[in-house]
Structure 1
Amino acid sequence: MEKAIRASRQVCPFMKYANTASLQKLVARKSLLNAASACPVMHHAIEAQKSQIRSYSQMSSASTGNVSAEYAENSSGSSSGSNSTFSASAENLAQYEAQFSKDLQKKHADKSYRYFNNINRLAEKFPHAHLAKESDRVAVWCANDYLGMGSHPEVLAAGHKALDSYGAGAGGTRNIAGHNKHAVEIESTLAKLHYKDGALVFSSCFVANDAVLTLLGRKFPNLVYFSDEMNHASMIQGIRNSRAEKVIWRHNDLNDLESKLRQYPRETPKVIAFESVYSMSGSIAPIEAICDLAEKYGALTFLDEVHAVGMYGPHGAGVAEHLDFDYYANKRTGPLGREGRKIPVNDRVDIISGTLGKAFGSVGGYVAGSKNFIDWVRSYAPGFIFTTSLPPSVMASANAAIKVQTRNNDSRRKQQEAVRYVKESLSDKGIPVIPNPSHICPVFIGDAALAKEASDILLNDHGIYVQAINFPTVARGEERLRCTPTPGHNKELCDQLVNALDQVFNKLNLKRVKQWQLEGRFLDSPEPIWTNKQLQHN
């Protein structure tokens, strides 16, 4: 803005004597063009420009009938036309920049502005990383590579082999040049993992959730979504993009869900969308009971197992498999989870979405379901059709990771042991961990500025990286440090984390469990979903 003003002062008498503050006010009030119109010189220039734009526009529309072509020609027009257009749009550009600045200032003011730390995870030193300088080493405590599969030898070998043989990129979308044996193999593996007829791989699970939920709402007239209030942003986005009716039910509250389902006729198309493990709180959905309600009221179930795949069940298929642990551990011949039940929970879930980017240590997302459903999504979802396929090396390494995790529970057992040790040690020191039965260890802070300061102290003074979680990922006043122990976090590293957090809580005078309990929080302590017996299973 100031650069433009300085240049203008050299040629315009009005600009030469007007101060910068006055000009900026004119721009803010959208009155600079009015002032220019009163100028005997600029008045004629503005009118000439309008005439040129009108005639050019009419000619382009008449000759091509194509808005894109008109835009392309206008962008590459004569130098005089380009300069005039730029001058006329300078006022608008300043307004955009002012809005950018205003929004960013708001983020800084409410302490929700996000700072990115330069964290470079080291494959041979998991779970360690270096900062911008390779000599600055830290222990990473907040990654979603829950089982360390991103650096597993078999995973790396599969990725290297595919990279050397097939190159870095996919070559295009699946329907043009990106379909290959790696896509066929991993989708077959994923379908088997979830005991479904088929699976479809996307560039991310955000894209998968968005694409599928958007498509369902667009294709089924009068469909109604019943969405858990804590659902991930990708599910919220997909439901919003579908333009279908949305009903939000209280988190994991079955009574609230049923009361809202009851308000719609059974024949009304319905989808209950929810997650198995909610990543910021660690809570786990009552999947079986939700399936009961879905069958009672004629709804499809859409289950996001993103933070559960690889982590639960005897083969790492997620919580839906874990609920019938013995049945699946004995090749679908053992007893089901609840006496008298005839159908396993996993078979009652209609659509499952998952990720390759967390416990499987790679990148990408997917959905699994019936044969017709998968073919339907493949045929109609723009998020799949028009997106470049994942590279062969990515799919090969992810496929290897899934196969490693289906063989035995070694990684899951070690990870759960680390989780239990950290939670118990933090509890002994009165450090508040949001109670949950899963692998997530959310250390509660309750203040955005203090959460950021705690994270900075851990990184700078203790060599421990735990990112602060703030709005909009969590509600204001619910800020936390989300810790995720892995099999690579041995007792020494766990003790370092616990002792460092204890010092940070003392230094910042943060509330401990007893103080929060006086306010009615941290009163319950649910049992881990992994039982001692299950942890002993190979």
Structure 2
Amino acid sequence: MTTELAAELAELKEQGLYKVEVPLSSAQSAHIDVQGRRVVNLCANNYLGLADNPSLIQAAKDTLDRWGFGMASVRFICGTQDLHTELESKITGFLHPVTQGEGGRPPFDPPAPESSQGEGEWDTILYSSCFDANGGLFEVLFGEQDAIISDELNHASIIDGVRLSKARRLRYRNRDMADLEEQLKASQDCRRRVIATDGVFSMDGYLAPLDEICDLADKYDALVMVDDSHAVGFVGTHGAGTPEKFGVQDRVDIITGTLGKALGGASGGYTCARSEVVEMLRQKSRPYLFSNSLAPSIAGATLATIELLEQSDSLREQLNENTRWFREEMTRRGFEIPESDHAIVPVMIGDAVKAAAMADIILAEGIYVRAFSYPVVPKGKARIRTQMSATLTREDLEAAVAAFEKARAEAG
């Protein structure tokens, strides 16, 4: 077997598909040490720059002192601390806020429910990752009588989660509402139907049109599930993600997400839904039942993260400003940038060899980026995906633009 695997690995290298891990010699930050150099980091999911935030590091240390290092148990045996239930409640309140008076988060009245699905309160269940949250969702809720209608560009974790279910599987073209409606019509004989989509598509920075999706879901009596990993914390008026941005917080039935991007960048995931849905997941979701509980230090630091975001919008506003400036400046310099206002800013190159060559030149200029090509993205759509962070300075972004221009000239 080892000989066969060696041949397959060699083939991956020949095809340019072999993934190389480059160890960092520093904390994750806007500036990192790579291969003996200090460079600007333009490719992390560290949207709010919280991965090395001193207050969150201190919160993690304080949690270690009080709650210990690990749980050594799954949740239903002896792996649930008050800390876990507090974080679940905090996430629920962040994604589905109630009107508040003085202090804390600005007052916000969520829209009145328009969906016919479920009357229970909202609740949240923690997982060790969003991959596990998606992997443990569909087989619990949807069986042979049901249908799952999935956007063609959904994250691999949704695809794998859908495969575990015995439900009928349908796909619709990315963000194509006419095609989605055709799949809804084709599945009207099913007991339950759910439309599954990423809130933000990570290779392009496109947002799913959740208002239109919810309108179709209401029309055809379907549920809506959103993986909002690349949005929660910074998209929407208060950072509650794409459902907030599109005004459909109470019309999206199931939200999954991660603690490993904007919310501190460590690990962990969650599913937020009506309480009956969450309770069924606690009873039957295999990644939840058979995986260790989230480490206390992560739970404690994430609580501190959400409290920080509830108290101030400054990081979100700075991220939006960085994103706006970089998108406008790169477009002005003639680079092809897919239209969006998201902090994922792909620079479209087309040719995979040129994209890789440009990424090497840009790194030599002190800007850390990575090129993406087939099969991660379609053939002929190679790109360098950049990601903005609130802790990047204007000087960092100006240096990045200059490095892209030099790379374009040298790579032809």
Change (3 A) 1:108 1:243: farther
Alignment of 1:138-537 (within 5 A): 138-195=39-96, 197-217=122-142, 220-265=143-188, 267-324=190-247, 345-361=248-264, 362-459=266-363, 461-509=364-412
Letter in 1 for 2:324: R
Alignment of 1:28-47 (within 5 A): none
Change (3 A) 1:142 1:379: same
Per-residue Cα deviation, 1:55-111 (whole angstroms, up to 9, x for no partner): xxxxxxxxxxxxxxxxxxxxxxxxxxxxxxxxxxxxxxxxx1232123212212221
* Deviation at residue 173 of structure 1 after TM alignment: 1.0
Equivalent position SS for 1:415:
helix
Equivalent position SS for 1:348:
coil
Whole-angstrom distance in 1 between the partners of 2:372 and 2:190: 41
Equivalent position SS for 2:6:
helix
Note if contact 1:284-1:437 (Cα within 8 Å) is conserved in structure 2: no
Whole-angstrom distance in 1 between the partners of 2:351 and 2:16: 9
Equivalent position SS for 1:272:
strand
- Structure 1 stretches of 4+ with a deviation exceeding 4 A read none
* Deviation at residue 266 of structure 1 after TM alignment: 5.3
Q: How many aligned residue pairs are there?
A: 387
Letter in 2 for 1:105: A
Q: Higher relative CO (CA 8 A, sep ≥ 6), structure 1 or 2?
A: 2
Note if contact 2:323-2:341 (Cα within 8 Å) is conserved in structure 1: no
Q: Quick check: 138-147 or 404-413, which moved more?
A: 404-413
Whole-angstrom distance in 1 between the partners of 2:25 and 2:174: 35
Equivalent position SS for 1:487:
coil
Q: Which structure has greater helix proportion?
A: 1
TM-score scaled by length of structure 2: 0.90
Cα RMSD (Å) of the superposition?
1.5
Whole-angstrom distance in 2 between the partners of 1:243 and 1:445: 40
Change (3 A) 1:407 1:141: same
Whole-angstrom distance in 1 between the partners of 2:153 and 2:73: 35
Higher Cα Rg, which structure: 1
Whole-angstrom distance in 2 between the partners of 1:119 and 1:476: 30
Note if contact 1:315-1:407 (Cα within 8 Å) is conserved in structure 2: no
Equivalent position SS for 2:201:
coil
Q: Quick check: 304-313 or 107-116, which moved more?
A: 107-116
Per-residue Cα deviation, 1:181-203 (whole angstroms, up to 9, x for no partner): 11111100011112162100100
Whole-angstrom distance in 2 between the partners of 1:242 and 1:234: 13
Note if contact 2:228-2:241 (Cα within 8 Å) is conserved in structure 1: yes
Per-residue Cα deviation, 1:472-510 (whole angstroms, up to 9, x for no partner): 33223222111111121111110100000000001001x
Note if contact 1:315-1:408 (Cα within 8 Å) is conserved in structure 2: no
Whole-angstrom distance in 2 between the partners of 1:366 and 1:288: 23
